[in-house]
Structures are given as C-alpha cells and as structure tokens.
Amino acid sequence: MSQNQTRPPTGAPAPRPTDGTDGSGRMRPGVPEIVVGLLVWTVAVRVLVPRLRELELDPVVTGLVLTSLSGIFGLLGFAAALGLRIRSVPAFGLRPVTRRWVLVAVGLGVATLVVKSLASAAWIYLSGDTSNPQAEYAQGAGGGVVALVLATVFLGLLTPFGEELLFRGVVTNALLRYGPVVGVVGSAAVFALYHGINSVLPGAFVVGLVTAELFRRTGSVWPGVIVHVVVNLPAPLISVLADLG
C-alpha cells in the first residue's frame, strides 16, 4: 500500500460496492432476486394459510403449524432467489463472522427486544388497536409442554433463520446497491410491511433496522439471525404466562 492510500478505521464497515458484486468478484443479488423471493413468500401465504384454516384442525395444531410457516416461507423464498442466477450461498450472506460480532449481536438483541416492545406498545396506545394478529401462535404454544417447546423452536429458531435469509440475505443485500439508507431503511420497511398493518409492524421495523445494519457492516446474515433469535425466543413462553395471568 502506498503512502497516499489510507486504511479505514479499525472496526469500520467495509465499503459496500455498488457494481453488483460483493467486493470479492462474486455477484450479489439484485432486484430479480427480491421479486422472485418475495413473490414465492406472498404466493405461499395466500395459498397455504387459507387452506390450513379450512381444515379446521385442533387449535393447538393450527397454531403450531402457523408458527412454523414464517420460517418455512422465508426458506422457500430464499431458495427461489438463490436458484435464479447466482447460486452461491456466500453471495447471500451465509458466511462466518468473528466472535466479537456474535457478542455484539447478543447485546443488540436484548436492546432490540426492549425497543421493539416499547414501539408496539406505542402503536397500541396511539392507534387504539388492541387486536393480536399472532393470537393463533399463542394457542399453539399453550397446548402443553411439548407444544411450548415446538413453538419456541419454530418461532425462536426456524423463523429467525428463514426470515433473515430472505429479508437480509436477499432484500437488504440487493438494496444496498443503492446506498445504506435505501438498503437499511428500505429493507426494514419491506420487512415490517410483510408483517401487516397492525401492532406487530413497528416492532418488526425496529428488528429490520438493527439486523439490516448488522448485515451492512458484516456482510453476513448470522449477526441478524442472533438478534432475531434473542427477540423471538421468549415470545411463546411470555404468551403462555400472559394467558395464565
């Protein structure tokens, strides 16, 4: 390196290239991957969820299946985007990170859980909307110990993994071509809107902002997965305890 060149400050995020590569010559996902991934998610929701409800299964079974679907739909959307053109999982952010970023993600996960809860409470207070769009999740978790464990695995592990692959590995990754504001804020808005216009939306936006910024800084989905796990993992138990109260 010549004397005229300068290194970025230690710990600063590496510049995100805007030429369609990830900085190492690999292609990065773009608008086609976003369209295909989100289309698969949307079609799956529109087709499978109504069919599930038409079966009139036991409420616990229905709740558990619904709890698993966000993660499954995310994986399906990611797989469709992966198979479209690039077919390289590192290009979608499936790459390792340092132990430091793991610890940062755990701490941010705790902070995000608090801010997310406050954001949802503010929405309810300002809008007067007290409906619970995830009430069926609580029914699934409330079916006994086995049901609670399954709900925790589905919501606390499967959902973060599937959603982060699609919304950060594909959507954030592609939108970062247009700069950090579009990449981070834009993808967080998409993530929030895919949760519906309800009390979940503001909390989802907060999660989307934190995980998208982590992806921008690390180029990996794993810190976002960790944040998402920390946020989601206690939710089934909290819903059961709330019902008992």
Q: How far is CA 191 from the centre of its chain?
A: 7
Enclosing domain of residue 128: 31-244
Is residue 184 in a domain?
yes
> pTM for this one?
0.89
Place 132 in a pLDDT band, splitting at 50, 70 and 90: confident
Q: Helices 200-218 and 99-127: crossing angle, nearest 10°?
A: 160
* Over residues 174-203, mean pLDDT: 96
Is residue 23 in a domain?
no
* Over residues 9-21, mean pLDDT: 50
Is residue 38 in a domain?
yes
Is residue 8 in a domain?
no
CB 137 within 8 A of CB 219: no
Tens of pLDDT, residues 96-129? 999 999 999 999 999 999 999 999 999 999 999 8
Distance CA 33, CA 44 (A): 17
Q: How far is CA 154 from the centre of its chain?
A: 13
Q: How far is CA 16 from the centre of its chain?
A: 21
Strand-pair partners of 27: 21
Distance CA 17, CA 6 (A): 18
| Domain count for the chain | 1
Tens of pLDDT, residues 198-222? 999 999 999 999 999 999 999 999 9
Joined together, the tokens standing for residue 9 give 């400050």
Place 19 in a pLDDT band, splitting at 50, 70 and 90: low
Percent of the chain at pLDDT > 70 equals 89
CB 28 within 8 A of CB 168: no
Distance CA 42, CA 20 (A): 26
Average pLDDT over the chain reads 90
> Would you say residue 1 has pLDDT above 90?
no
Is residue 204 in a domain?
yes
* Over residues 79-106, mean pLDDT: 96
Distance CA 129, CA 110 (A): 26
Is residue 107 in a domain?
yes
pLDDT in the model for residue 135: 87
Joined together, the tokens standing for residue 37 give 């991934």
Please choose, from the candidates 200, 201, 178, the residue with its C-alpha nearest in 3D space to the C-alpha of residue 190.
201
Place 142 in a pLDDT band, splitting at 50, 70 and 90: very high
Please choose, from the candidates 108, 110, 137, the residue with its C-alpha nearest in 3D space to the C-alpha of residue 200.
137
* Over residues 45-73, mean pLDDT: 94
Distance CA 230, CA 226 (A): 6
Q: Helices 159-166 and 59-82: crossing angle, nearest 10°?
A: 30
Lowest-pLDDT choice from 51-60, 154-163, 186-195: 51-60
Is residue 19 in a domain?
no
Is residue 165 in a domain?
yes
Q: How far is CA 39 from the centre of its chain?
A: 16
